[in-house]
Amino acid sequence: MIEVRQSAGGDPLKFEVVVRDTAGETRHVVTMAPATHQELTAGQYSPAKCVEAAFRFLLDREPKEQILARFDMAVVPHYYPDFLAKLPSYLAPS
C-alpha cells in the first residue's frame, strides 16, 4: 500500500509517503515543483496522484527499501530514462 500525504504547499510541494507491505514499511519525503507537476500531468491529475503513480512505477523496478528516503520528482528520469514515457500508464485509472 502506498499512502501519500501532502505536507506543504508552495514551491516546492512537499509530500510524506509511506509504503507498506507484509515485510514492513518505509517512509519517504518527496518534493515537486509546481512546474514539474504541470510537466508530468498537464494538470490532469493531482500532485498527490502524480507522486503515488511515481511510487508505483518505482516499486515495479526496485524494492521499497531501495527507494531514496528523500528526493525530488525531477530526479526520477535521471535514474529511469523511461519514466516520462511510462508515467501516463501509471496515472491512468485502472
DSSP 3-state of 2: strand
Closest CA to 7 of 24, 25, 32: 32
Confidence of residue 91 (pLDDT cuts 50, 70, 90): very high
Query: In the chain, pLDDT over 70 holds for what percent of residues?
Result: 99
At 23-64, the pLDDT tens digits run 999 999 999 999 999 999 999 999 999 999 999 999 999 999
Closest CA to 58 of 25, 87, 15: 87
